[in-house]
Amino acid sequence: MQLTIIKTFISRFLILFLSFGLVIFTTNMWGSEGKGTISIVIANAAAVSFFSSIFSGSSTSYFASRFKIEQILLYAYLWSFFIGLFVPFLFSFTSIQNEYLPYLIGISVFSSLLSTNIGLFIGTQNIRRFNIYTILQQLVHVVFIMLMVYGFGKKEVSVYFQAQIGCLVLLSVTSFFQIIKRCKVSEISFSRIVAKNMFEYGWKTQLSAFVQFLNYRLSFYFLEYFEGIASVGVFSIGVTFSEAIWTITRSIAVVLYSDVVNSKSSEESVAKTKDSLKLTFALMIVFVAGIIMVPSEVYQMIFGKEFRDTKEIIFFLSPGICAIAVSDMIGHYFSGTRALKILNIKSIVGLVVTVVLSFIAIPRWGILGACFATTTSYLVSSFVLFRKFYSSTPFQWSDYMISKEEIRLLKYKLLKK
């Protein structure tokens, strides 16, 4: 498990590098308003993806070893097209960046198709291929943007979305051909049992994920309403740093989820979860401390004068960033063992905190109010998960401390590899 985590960690570090390169480019190219527009449209696409993921994403991962892949693909692909067209159509009745609706549809459909394929890689424990495609999502997107801006001279914000759609189409098609090699056309069929199980598992998992997404992104919409689109752009940089850290720690969560789903022993699953907690906690201390130590002038130099408050935003978000990263391990444990009720509870509790505090804090303190609402929500929802997990297993401080023996063993395995 440790070597798989390390390989996934390295791939996520490459993703982190590419993500920051893209953020730096977009802030300097389109400023705070352009960054705000990108953040809102991508948030809308993420909202659509939670409905799509009822049959794709984690649902395909979970059932990849339980049902025929041909049947899983049939439902996942049909659902991806339906939701990718229908839910963005509902967005057209709002005033949230309506001019980018065609791009929202393209991103929604093809990101769901790719999510289905990647989910099958996770479910069949093909972590290597999962790592490759997660890296390519960032790399190809960056390459396409560079080609459109410097090759064809396009300067509009829409370039970001056009490049992303091109990237998703390419990767969806290539991953599809890799998966279809293992499938038999004669096995493609509708099954009520498969549909019922996937829907039941999918909506329960995605209800929690969608509500949690609102915890992550609702502040964007409140900020746009109370402070304007430029404030969303500034605040989104701080959120980008938190999600960059989560990108790395969630590499551990992906491996943990794959192990728990395929595990036959609850004791083994708990032990692996505690190992993941330990590693995640150690990484969080290092990364958050490193980010906070960077002088404010560096952030201003990199992102531009409009983003001079980036360090302050990250500082106020950091307690919540740590809490979410560590509690994500417990969340993936509960998801892998189908204990989905607690995930819904913690997400709903966090959402209530976000809504109440956003109405109070954002009109009064603006971006810092959004930081306060977001961090409080993260801490409260994480506490719910920790309390549930440790009500059934003994709490030990050693769950979060890496021993010298573990470091020695890890070093030995790396050298041996």
Q: What distance in Å separates the CA atoms of residue 275 and residue 280, rounded to the nearest whole number?
A: 9
Q: Let me know if residue 216 belongs to a domain.
A: no
111 plus 9 within the same structural domain? yes
Residues 139 and 244 in one domain: no
Q: Would you say residue 281 lies in a domain?
A: yes
Q: How many domains would you assign to the chain? A: 2
- CA 345 to chain centroid: 20
Judge if 243 and 123 occupy the same domain.
Answer: no
| 247 and 355 housed in the same domain | yes
Task: Give Cα separations from 99 to 26, 96, 104 (angstroms).
Answer: 19, 9, 10
Around 358, how many Cα atoms within 13 Å sit in the side-chain half-sphere? Answer: 22
Residues 226 and 233: their CA atoms lie apart, in Å, by 14
The first and second tokens of residue 413, run together, are: 């395995």
Q: Same domain for 232 and 183? A: no
Instruction: Tell me the mean pLDDT per 10 residues along the chain, length 417.
Output: 58 74 86 86 87 81 78 87 89 70 93 88 76 87 94 91 96 90 75 84 77 81 87 86 74 67 72 80 84 85 82 90 87 78 86 93 92 94 91 76 62 46
Rounded Cα distance between 341 and 128, Å, is: 31
User: 315 and 184 in one domain?
Assistant: no
| End residue of a domain, out of 164, 190, 216 | 190
Distance CA 80, CA 108 (A): 8
SS3 156: coil
297 occurs within a structural domain: yes
Do 298 and 168 reside in the same domain of the chain?
A: no
Identify whether 159 is part of a domain: yes
pLDDT for the residue 254: 65
Amino acid identity for residue 285 in this structure: I
Crossing angle of helices 2-52 and 101-123, in 10° steps, is: 140
User: Residue 417: its pLDDT value, please?
Assistant: 42
Sign of the dihedral through C-alpha 16, 22, 23, 24: positive
Place of tokens 């070893």: 65
What is the per-residue pLDDT for 413? 43
In a domain, 334, yes or no: yes
The pLDDT value recorded for residue 144 is 96
The answer to the question of residue 218 being in a domain is no
Asked if 289 and 175 sit in the same domain, the reply is no
Where would I find the H helices in 53-100? 58-63, 69-91
pLDDT value for 415: 47
The reply to whether 69 and 186 lie within a common domain is yes
Q: Do 137 and 231 reside in the same domain of the chain?
A: no
379 assigned to some structural domain: yes
Tell which of 190, 216, 243 closes a domain: 190
Q: Which domain holds residue 292?
A: 227-416
CA nearest neighbour of 125 among 38, 265, 263, 255: 255
DSSP strand E in 134-276: where?
Answer: none
Residue 83 within a domain:
yes
Q: Do residue 164 and residue 253 come from a single domain?
A: no
> Do residue 174 and residue 237 come from a single domain?
no
In eight-state DSSP terms, residue 154 is -
Predicted local confidence at residue 165, as pLDDT: 96
Decide which of 141, 162, 190 is a domain's last residue.
190
| C-alpha span between 22 and 15 (Å, rounded) | 10
